[in-house]
Each structure stands twice: as C-alpha cells, then as structure tokens.
Amino acid sequence: MQTPGADAQPPEVPTGTTSHQMRALLAMVGVALLLNYVETMIIPGILTIQSYFSTTEGTVAWVTSAFLIVGSAVSPLFGKWGDSYGKKRMFLIALVFYTAGVGVAGFSPSIYFLIAARAVQGIGFAIVPLALAIIAETFPKERIATAQGVVSATFAIGAAAGLIVGSYIIQDFGWQWAFHSAFILSVVLYVVVARFLPRGHPGTGRKVDYETVVLLMAGVSLVLLYLTDAPYSGWYSPYGLGALVIGVGLTVGFFFAESRKSNPLIQLGLLRIRNVLVANAIGIISGIGLFMLFFAVTFYAEDPVPLGLGLTPIDAGLTIGPAAVLMLVAGPLVGRLVTNRGPKPAMVVGGAIAIAGFALFVLNRGTRVDIAVDAAVSMVGAVAVIIPIVNMISVSLPGEAVATGLGLNTMLRNIGGALGPVVATTILSTYTTTLSVPRGGHLIPIPFPNSTGFDYVFYLGMAAMAMAVVISLGTKNYAFKKRQPA
C-alpha cells in the first residue's frame, strides 16, 4: 500500500480470487440482496398496512423507524462483538434476529406487535457492518475495495427488486406475504452462510465494556427517536425535545466515559485518524443527501399530475430500475479506481457526479425517462462516494477494530439517513399546492408538494454533496499498485 510517508513496497495484486474468498463474497452479496429487498419492499406496503390496522400515519411510520433506530444503536456493539468473538459467529447471531423478526412480522395481530417485530429485525441490521468487515478480513487489502464495491452495488439491485417485486406481492397476496417470502429467503441464506462462509479470525477475546456501550446505544436511540417522530408529533413537543436533550447528553457522556476506560468500545485515538474522521463526516453528510433524494423522488414519481408523474408504486420502481443496474456495474469499477488511484479521486469524482444528478432533477424531470436518467446519474455518484469511505475505515483501522469502526460508520450513515427524510418532509410540507383528488366517490382537496418544494430539496442535496467533496479533499490518499517486474 502506498501512503504518504510510507517506505514499504506495495504488495503484489493477486491475479485471481481464491475459493474461500469467492464463497465469502457470494455470501455477502446474498446478504446485500436480501436486506435491501426486504427493507425496500415494505415501502409500497406502508399505506396498505395503515389501512389494514386502521391506524394513524404517525403510528405506521414506526414500522420503518423501529428498524432504523434499533439497527443504528446495535451496529457498533455487534461490530465490537465481531472483533472480540469472531465475525462469522456474530454475523450468524445477527441473522437469526433478522430472520426471527421477519418470521413473526407476517403474523402480526396488531400494529404494535408488527412494530415490535420490526425492532427485533433491526437487531439483525448489524449484518451490514459485519458483512463489510468479513470482506475486509477475507480479502487482501489491495482487493478489499473491489469486493466491497460489488457488495455495495448489490444493495441497489436488492432495493430495486424490493420496490418492484414487493409491490406485486402486496397487491396480489397481501402485505403479510411480503414478510413470509422474506422469511423463506432469510432461512435459505442462513443455511448457505453457515455452510459456506469461511470461519475467519476467531477474534481477540477481549471483553466488552457494556457501561459505555449502553450510553451510546441509549443516546443514539433517543436522538433518532426525536428525528423520526418529530414530523408527526411536532418539532417542539416537550417529550420530543426531552428525548433529544437526553440523547445528546448520553452520547457526549459516552465519549467522556470512553476516554477513561482501559478497554473502550473503540479507542478514541483511532477515531481521530484523518481518514477515519473524513469517512465518518462524509458518511453523515452523504446519508442526508442520498435519503433526501430517495424520499423526494418517491413523492414526485407517485404524486398526481401536474405536480408529479402520477405513477403507481410498481411503475415508480421500474423507473429507477436502470439506475440500480448501473450501480451494479459502477460498484466494482469504483472499487478498482480506489485500489489504483486511492479514495480521494473516487470521492471527488463521485461527489461531482452526484451534484450533476441533483442538478438534472431541478432542470429536467418531466417524464419517466427523465427521472430514470436523473436517478442513474445521482445514484452512480452516490455509490462512488460510499465505497471509498467504507474502504478507508477498513484499511485505516487495525484488524481488531475494523468491525467496530464499520459499525460506528454504519450508525453515523443511518443518522444522516434519518435526517434526510426529515429535512425533505419539512420542505415538501411547507411548499404545497392543493388538488382535488377522488376519494370514495367524492373529490377531496389534498395538499401536495409543488415544484418549488422539490427544487429546494434538490438544491440542498447538491449542497450536501458539495460539502462531501470539500471534506474529501482532506483525505490522506493511498493506492495499491502491482509490483513492476525486476
């Protein structure tokens, strides 16, 4: 590896992939497909679930919020367990929680039971940082970026499949079968991973300091609780503000306590490594921009003409399908760029492409073809930003801290992902135009986001990605190159 100030010669890039590396990669690709298939297919079913249980919009929103909050909170802990007790072992345990949550969700007798099942499923979200850590452990450093690029790009295919297939399943068989089908896939994936995934490093055996972990988990959970519930209960709700203040206090307390522990969750000095600091900052910002995009595009595609395109959820999913395919192609290419040129060029180029994609949404979004092109440009840019930050964490931290570091980075990206829809919702609900829409044989006046609101969301997305580009300039670049023949 070539880094500034490094004198050692870079290792030779292997010409092929070993069988155990290929098994690990295929297993993690399966995980990426499953996770995003399940999480995305729930989106078109939210209104159906709300109607089925005769509940409010604020309550049904917890079907997605419970998963996000719990998943963000437990990711660093499972990462630490993976470093301490073995990544494969903890991966399988997390997958058990995910499978159990999916399995019972389809039989939910009430909305609150479903929310609880989704919270259990959220524990299984820890498979994401563990999967990336397994790739980092299995592949040599000079091939990590390409392998992680394949996994990251596969998330897009799973998301597109979830929107399309999930819409058909919910429409023809009911929302319960969205979870039933996911349960079957989860069981199959567990068997495959348990059987074929290499065992890997057994772990350091170091004990986990649970006092500080609880501080972080509680703090992050309360902050996310405020962010996800504020659009429904109000930004100035006494309970919401109380949760925010306490959450921030507990999170600050975590860092204060960590500095005094002999066996911290992660050594704070490691978080101050330049590339780790850059990766985490960009993780939050890119999460905000990317999820603002997802949220606004979904609204625009399905809102009635002339304010939107008036598409069905199935048609909306098919519209962004080309973007998912391009991301699958772009992922490995970005990984190779990171390997050969380093993460800085990839993030700068990716951020510039994402900015161009947001600009296209402002200038040209009148048809399905326009949306397909705009989404393709934006999402290819986004994946070109995400892959380098994951690689920077993987190669900058010592091996015994990689899974924990990736868990923290996942948590921070989720915080950004929670902020994105909140910002978009606030803007879109501020700039509206009322249309008369047929409901139950009558025309009902309903406010919908108008062109100004969508433009402001996309402008903010451009600003977020521009900020990510500026921060990426602080990266300490590195590259892996083949040895020249003697």
Say if residues 41 and 166 touch (Cβ distance below 8 Å).
Answer: yes
> What is the structure's pLDDT at 17?
58
Query: Could you give the CA distance from residue 449 to residue 440 in angstroms, rounded to a whole number?
Result: 22
> What is the structure's pLDDT at 34?
80
Instruction: Give the type of residue at 167.
Output: S
- Domain 18-208 and domain 273-476, same fold? Reply is yes
Q: What is the pTM of this model?
A: 0.81
Taking every pair of Cα atoms in the chain, the longest distance, rounded to a whole number of angstroms, is 81
* The dihedral formed by the CA atoms of 460, 465, 471 and 476, expressed in degrees to the nearest 10: 170
Cis previous bond, 306, omega within 30: yes
Using alpha carbons, list the distances in angstroms from residue 414 to 63, 122, 386: 16, 12, 13
Q: Which residues pair with 435 in a beta bridge?
A: 446
> What is the structure's pLDDT at 483?
45
What tokens were used for 292?
A: 């603002």
If one counts every other C-beta atom within 10 angstroms of the C-beta of residue 238, the result is 9
Query: Could you give the CA distance from residue 458 to residue 444 in angstroms, rounded to a whole number?
Result: 29
Query: Could you give the CA distance from residue 70 to residue 62 in angstroms, rounded to a whole number?
Result: 11
Q: Which residues pair with 442 in a beta bridge?
A: 439
Using alpha carbons, list the distances in angstroms from residue 423 to 230, 426, 433, 439: 11, 5, 19, 29
| Mean pLDDT, 10 residues at a time, the chain of 486 residues | 37 52 81 78 76 80 82 87 88 93 93 92 88 84 80 71 75 85 88 80 73 84 82 79 91 83 75 90 88 82 87 77 78 85 92 94 92 90 87 86 86 82 82 81 82 93 94 89 48
Residue 280: CB partners within 8 Å, gap ≥ 6? Answer: 271, 389, 408, 409, 412
Q: Which residues pair with 2 in a beta bridge?
A: 479
Strands, DSSP E only, in 179-333?
A: none
> What is the structure's pLDDT at 44?
67
> Which CATH number applies to 273-476?
1.20.1250.20
> What is the structure's pLDDT at 363?
93
> What is the structure's pLDDT at 160?
67
> What is the structure's pLDDT at 481?
64
* Domain range annotation of the chain: 18-208, 209-264, 273-476
DSSP character string of 298-352: HHHHHSPTTTS----HHHHHHHTHHHHHHHHHHHHHHHHHHHHH-HHHHHHHHHH
How long a stretch of residues is the chain?
A: 486
**Residue 86 DSSP SS3:** coil
Q: What CATH superfamily is the domain 18-208?
A: MFS general substrate transporter like domains (1.20.1250.20)
Helices and strands (H and E) in the chain: how many:
19, 2
> What is the structure's pLDDT at 120?
93
Among 130, 147, 132, CA closest to 84: 130
Query: Could you give the CA distance from residue 389 to residue 333 in angstroms, rounded to a whole number?
Result: 15
Cα-only R_g, the chain = 22
Query: Could you give the CA distance from residue 378 to residue 361 in angstroms, rounded to a whole number?
Result: 9
Among 359, 375, 366, CA closest to 322: 375
Among 69, 34, 403, 395, CA closest to 218: 69
Chain mean position to CA 346: 19
The b-or-e profile of 152-170 (16+ CB within 10 A means b, else e) is bbbbbbbbbbbbbbbbebb
Among 333, 374, 340, 330, CA closest to 354: 374
Among 359, 376, 282, 374, CA closest to 325: 376
